[in-house]
């Protein structure tokens, strides 16, 4: 499992059994960041 090292991302959800890898199903975690919240990001 890889860690999300950028604190600006928000964990949105988990896709259960989304990826077949190494002979077994793995979960996939979804992260998001609003454009206005990213470093140097300005709202449109």
Domain locations in the chain? 8-38
At 1-44, the pLDDT tens digits run 566 555 678 899 999 999 999 999 999 999 988 887 777 766 55
Cβ–Cβ < 8 Å for 43, 34: no
Element (H, E) at 3: none
Distance separating alpha carbons of residues 24 and 4, to the nearest angstrom: 23
With contact defined as beta carbons under 8 Å apart, do 10 and 32 qualify? yes
Q: What is the pTM of this model?
A: 0.61
Question: Rounded to an integer, what distance in angstroms lies between the CA atom of residue 42 and that of residue 3?
Answer: 26
């Amino acid at each position: 499992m890889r860690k999300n090292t950028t604190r600006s991302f928000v964990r949105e959800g988990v896709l259960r059994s989304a990826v077949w890898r190494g002979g077994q199903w793995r979960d996939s975690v979804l992260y998001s960041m609003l454009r206005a919240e990213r470093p140097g990001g300005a709202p449109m």
